[in-house]
Chains A and B, each alone.
Chain A
Amino acid sequence: MKTVFLFPGQGSQRAGMLKELPLNDPAVAEIFGIAEKVLGVSVYTLDTEERLTSTVYVQLCLLIIGVVSAKRLLAKGIKADYVAGHSVGAFAAAVVAEVLSFEQALRLVHKRGMLMEQAYPKGYGMAAMVGFSATRLQAYIQEHNAAHPEVYLSNINTADQQVVAGEIESLNSLIITLQKAGIRKAQLLNVSVPSHCPLLDDVSVALAKQLAPLQLSEPQIPYASNHNGRLLKTAEAIKTDLWKSVAATVRWYDATTLLYELGARIFIEMAPSGVLSKMAGSTFPEAQVIELEETNIDTVVWLWNNYQHEQN
């Protein structure tokens, strides 16, 4: 029974999520210390309601809390056989796999956030679609694109949950088409950047430049990739995923299914948890899915040990 650490991406953030972390925990103190040194501000200024309207701060907070969550679990003796991060969550996953140092990740994610924020200031966004398979949705998108500004399949999250990115007017008209076709849910998300599609090609190239000179280490834990849904076992491959995925479809359904086929049966979602747990729960009804919240770390450790025991 293998264990995966899941690292959430944008959409999972909550105001005050860093403030909830106990400073007397050595993992928290260590990571906060590094973050404050690199960013030059107190971490408590990062997770305010106001700051979290900017993707830069959202991404930084998710990186910090993702790494802290994993370090706390590892310190308690929980072993991860695989890591998988959704979108920006991939940077925390790469830190936990020991490919990137936390300092490197902070600088990269900061840059990534800035580039994304500047890329499409207005009129673009993303929409969530629930109820169709990706193949079926793709057919509608193709037809739609013949007559409208192009939109793109940006996330394939489960068998019937996807996200589409592009110009808002065009997304709205696709939504109407899909509703007529009987889709269960199709709605715009409160996101201003059309991520994970060719509209962010420039961001992706800039990130690649940023990553190129970095000295990375070989992963200690295999890492499930966003852009091609493969299991990656080399620093070079993970580096490529980190810059490519910002402008490529997130193949989360494939990535997590692959881990399941490889024997993963315990999925632990790092804080702030919920989104990825729901996806894993619906995709793998026979797996154990655990949500880590800041208050329940001992429960998580107890559950994990119990599942290990059950198997033997």
Chain B
Amino acid sequence: MSGTSWTTKRDEKARRIKSIAHLTTNSVLKKENIVEALEHLLQPGDRVVLEGDNQKQASFLSESLAQVDAKKVNNLHMIMSSISRPEHLDVFEKGIAKKIDFSFSGPQSLRVSQMIEDNTLEIGGIHTYLELYGRLFIDLIPNVALVAADKADRFGNLYTGPNTEETPAIVEATAFKDGIVIVQVNEIVDVLPRIDIPGSWVDFVVEADKPYQLEALFTRDPKLITELHILIGMMTIRGVYEKHKVKTLNHGIGFNTAAIELLLPTYAEKLGLKGKIATNWVLNPHPTLIPAIESGWVDTVHCFGGEVGMEAYCAARPDVFFTGKDGSLRSNRAFAQVAGQYAVDMFVGSTLQIDRNGNSSTVISGRLAGFGGAPNMGHDPRGRRHSSEAWLDMITTNDPLAKGRKLVVQTVETFQNGNTPVFVETLDAIEVAKKAHLDIAPVMIYGDDVTHVVTEEGVAYIYKAEGEEERRQALSAIAGVTPVGLTANAGIIRSLREKGVVAYPEDLGVQRTEAKRSLLAAKTVQELVEWSGGLYNPPAKFKNW
């Protein structure tokens, strides 16, 4: 129709960019002008994606956003995978922003709960990472993206280095739908080591006053791995990895999985499993995986993000890690999440609470933490077909159309620290949902997606359980002396063990007395450094020797 404009977004973008012409040289913004620039580039009610996941933070831009005048910029709809820094919520207290869609808020979980109760913050949804990234292309298309990179050149080309993470996904959704892309960089240089994001996707770069915040989130000090973790690790290796021949996988962040990583070159090697299990990974560069890599256990690792201190090590092992022409690691959170959900045999993680039906959550006692990658990778994508041995081993019927399923494994001790049972009648998440007026209780992994639960007592093969009742009995059988475990009945346990729905250490050929720290390939961070031939450079707080 004549008179209809089909370029309103493009025109608006051009208008906003023109309005700060006096502040820019090409695409370079000066840091002292950033607040003024944001006041022009942002309009009330905009959808703004602010980069911040559990590791990398566009910290200069978030601090700058918190300084804009709320009379000029207000009611923003924020989209962030992680609410991590105090100013992420200050923008709501100041009225600059009103609504938020997010995935994880661990470091600010109490404040998030309080602000929802006080009506200072309105939640759009708590999403899995992939839903959040996906929605950036559907109904959460950003007007403005605020992201972080290591280096830029003066044309706006970006080098994101080992911590590329989710920057490309965010920038793509914004740049190609006439949104404005603003990037903070640690430095502006003449020549970049490599280009991770081309300058034509970027509108402005600004050199920040200090490097963006980066957390060493995936470093687990082997010193803190207990014999209980080791016992659970041994049973998981025998009762899950070996039994189902699991070759491709993702590990969570906990000490249980760190123990497994350190048992591969020792315990699993002795069992003759090298090359037969755990060869291809989607995983951040966990320092605890170094001994397995050095022993030739690991073929490949694709990463969500980097890990502080692992840069030189990853660069020196390009056969294992994905690296650029410059030699350094290339990570990509969106692709790794896709791979972790859709391309691996198994997810192994941990949790704080599991109910009688196997639903689990880390949201406890009034704190609205959300989740990291677990809900995404810890579920069975129903339509996926996959013919690996591990998947096919999950088939429990004679149906000619049966297609196997994703292995979703929870490894937990029956009690958390301080005598708090992990197995509970009802998840705290239900109460939290009521208080925070959430439509959906913040469950991390749904019981019907879980195939195995491993505790220090044994393994529950709940994918094999026939019906809800048997499933509950299988969980009780490994829930120890928690209230849920105390309901277990000796006769039923015996029959579950005979049917192979439950296995205790002796059923798996695991000796409880063998679960010693001497089994770990590295017992300290220092030993990890030694395994790496000095390439791993741990952050100061882990250098305790």
Contact among A133, A182, A184, A229 with B365 in the assembled complex (CB-CB below 8 Å): A133
B-contact bits for A139-164, CB 8 A (1 contact / 0 none)? 00000000000000000000110000
A257 sits at the interface (CB 8 A): yes
Task: Tell me if B419 and A258 are in contact (CB < 8 A).
Answer: no
Task: Tell me if B365 and A135 are in contact (CB < 8 A).
Answer: yes
Contact among B86, B108, B109, B419 with A131 in the assembled complex (CB-CB below 8 Å): B419
Bound-complex Cα distance A184 to B366 (A): 23
B345 sits at the interface (CB 8 A): no
Chain A minimum-CB-distance residue to B109: A261
Task: Tell me if A133 and B86 are in contact (CB < 8 A).
Answer: no
Chain B minimum-CB-distance residue to A135: B365
Would you list which residues of chain B between 72 and 124 have a CB under 8 Å from chain A? Answer: 86, 107-111, 114, 118
Task: Tell me if B86 and A258 are in contact (CB < 8 A).
Answer: no
Would you list which residues of chain A between 188 and 222 have a CB under 8 Å from chain B? Answer: none
A262 sits at the interface (CB 8 A): yes
Whether A258 touches B114, Cβ cut-off 8 Å, given contacts A135-B428, A135-B431, is yes
B495 sits at the interface (CB 8 A): no
Whether A261 touches B420, Cβ cut-off 8 Å, given contacts A133-B364, A133-B365, is no
Task: Tell me if A132 and B419 are in contact (CB < 8 A).
Answer: yes
Whether A183 touches B419, Cβ cut-off 8 Å, given contacts A135-B428, A261-B108, is yes
Whether A182 touches B419, Cβ cut-off 8 Å, given contacts A135-B431, A159-B365, A262-B86, is yes
B418 sits at the interface (CB 8 A): yes
Within 8 Å CB of B365, what residues of A? Answer: 133-135, 159
Bound-complex Cα distance A262 to B366 (A): 17
Task: Tell me if B431 and A258 are in contact (CB < 8 A).
Answer: no
A22 sits at the interface (CB 8 A): no
Bound-complex Cα distance A180 to B350 (A): 29
Task: Tell me if B428 and A261 are in contact (CB < 8 A).
Answer: no
Chain A minimum-CB-distance residue to B87: A263
Task: Tell me if A261 and B418 are in contact (CB < 8 A).
Answer: no
Bound-complex Cα distance A135 to B424 (A): 12
Within 8 Å CB of A257, what residues of B? Answer: 110
Bound-complex Cα distance A182 to B110 (A): 28
Task: Tell me if A263 and B419 are in contact (CB < 8 A).
Answer: no
A-contact bits for B150-164, CB 8 A (1 contact / 0 none)? 000000000000000
Whether A131 touches B107, Cβ cut-off 8 Å, given contacts A230-B114, A261-B86, is no
Within 8 Å CB of B111, what residues of A? Answer: 258, 261-262
Within 8 Å CB of A229, what residues of B? Answer: 110, 114
Within 8 Å CB of A122, what residues of B? Answer: none
Chain A minimum-CB-distance residue to B481: A182
Bound-complex Cα distance A261 to B113 (A): 12
Task: Tell me if B86 and A263 are in contact (CB < 8 A).
Answer: yes
Would you list which residues of chain B between 109 and 143 have a CB under 8 Å from chain A? Answer: 109-111, 114, 118
Bound-complex Cα distance A253 to B107 (A): 15
Bound-complex Cα distance A131 to B418 (A): 5
Chain B count of residues within 8 A CB distance of the other chain: 16
Whether A133 touches B420, Cβ cut-off 8 Å, given contacts A159-B365, A230-B114, A261-B86, is yes
B-contact bits for A117-138, CB 8 A (1 contact / 0 none)? 0000000000000011111100
Whether A160 touches B420, Cβ cut-off 8 Å, given contacts A135-B431, A230-B114, is yes
A241 sits at the interface (CB 8 A): no
A223 to chain B, nearest CB (A): 15
B16 to chain A, nearest CB (A): 32
A254 sits at the interface (CB 8 A): yes
Within 8 Å CB of A261, what residues of B? Answer: 86, 107-111
Bound-complex Cα distance A182 to B107 (A): 31
Chain B minimum-CB-distance residue to A181: B483
Chain B minimum-CB-distance residue to A130: B418
Chain A count of residues within 8 A CB distance of the other chain: 19
B502 to chain A, nearest CB (A): 24
Bound-complex Cα distance A258 to B366 (A): 12
Task: Tell me if B418 and A159 are in contact (CB < 8 A).
Answer: yes
Contact among B108, B110, B418, B431 with A254 in the assembled complex (CB-CB below 8 Å): B110
Bound-complex Cα distance A42 to B107 (A): 48
Bound-complex Cα distance A133 to B416 (A): 11
Within 8 Å CB of B419, what residues of A? Answer: 131-132, 160, 182-184
Bound-complex Cα distance A262 to B109 (A): 11
Which one of B118, B418, B420 has the greatest number of beta carbons of chain A within 10 Å?
Answer: B418
Bound-complex Cα distance A131 to B420 (A): 8
Within 8 Å CB of B428, what residues of A? Answer: 135
B37 to chain A, nearest CB (A): 26
B-contact bits for A255-268, CB 8 A (1 contact / 0 none)? 00110011100000
Bound-complex Cα distance A132 to B366 (A): 15
Would you list which residues of chain A between 18 and 36 have a CB under 8 Å from chain B? Answer: none
Which one of A134, A135, A258 has the greatest number of beta carbons of chain B within 10 Å?
Answer: A135
B14 to chain A, nearest CB (A): 39
Contact among A132, A230, A254, A262 with B420 in the assembled complex (CB-CB below 8 Å): A132
Which one of A131, A229, A254 has the greatest number of beta carbons of chain B within 10 Å?
Answer: A254
Within 8 Å CB of B86, what residues of A? Answer: 261-263
Would you list which residues of chain B between 357 and 398 have a CB under 8 Å from chain A? Answer: 364-366
B109 to chain A, nearest CB (A): 8
Chain A minimum-CB-distance residue to B85: A263
Bound-complex Cα distance A263 to B62 (A): 15
Within 8 Å CB of B118, what residues of A? Answer: 230
Within 8 Å CB of A184, what residues of B? Answer: 418-419
Which one of B86, B110, B428 has the greatest number of beta carbons of chain A within 10 Å?
Answer: B110
Bound-complex Cα distance A159 to B110 (A): 13
A228 to chain B, nearest CB (A): 8
Within 8 Å CB of B109, what residues of A? Answer: 261
Chain A minimum-CB-distance residue to B541: A286
Bound-complex Cα distance A135 to B364 (A): 9
B221 to chain A, nearest CB (A): 13
Within 8 Å CB of B114, what residues of A? Answer: 229-230, 254, 258
Contact among B108, B110, B418 with A160 in the assembled complex (CB-CB below 8 Å): B418
Within 8 Å CB of A182, what residues of B? Answer: 419
Chain A minimum-CB-distance residue to B90: A262
Within 8 Å CB of B418, what residues of A? Answer: 131, 159-160, 184
Bound-complex Cα distance A182 to B486 (A): 13
Bound-complex Cα distance A210 to B535 (A): 67
Bound-complex Cα distance A54 to B301 (A): 67
Within 8 Å CB of B110, what residues of A? Answer: 229, 254, 257-258, 261
Within 8 Å CB of B366, what residues of A? Answer: 135, 254
Bound-complex Cα distance A8 to B47 (A): 45
Within 8 Å CB of A159, what residues of B? Answer: 365, 418
Within 8 Å CB of A183, what residues of B? Answer: 419
Could you show 28 A-B contacts with beta carbons less than 8 Å apart?
A132-B420, A133-B365, A133-B420, A134-B365, A135-B364, A135-B365, A135-B366, A135-B431, A136-B420, A159-B365, A159-B418, A160-B420, A229-B114, A230-B118, A254-B110, A254-B114, A254-B366, A257-B110, A258-B110, A258-B111, A258-B114, A261-B86, A261-B107, A261-B108, A261-B109, A261-B111, A262-B86, A263-B86
Q: A257-B110, A261-B110 are in contact. List 12 more A-B contacts (CB 8 A).
A: A131-B418, A132-B420, A135-B365, A135-B428, A160-B419, A230-B114, A230-B118, A254-B114, A258-B110, A261-B108, A261-B109, A263-B86
The 8 A-B pairs with the shortest beta carbon distances in the complex, nearest first, are A160-B418, A131-B419, A257-B110, A261-B111, A263-B86, A135-B365, A262-B86, A261-B108
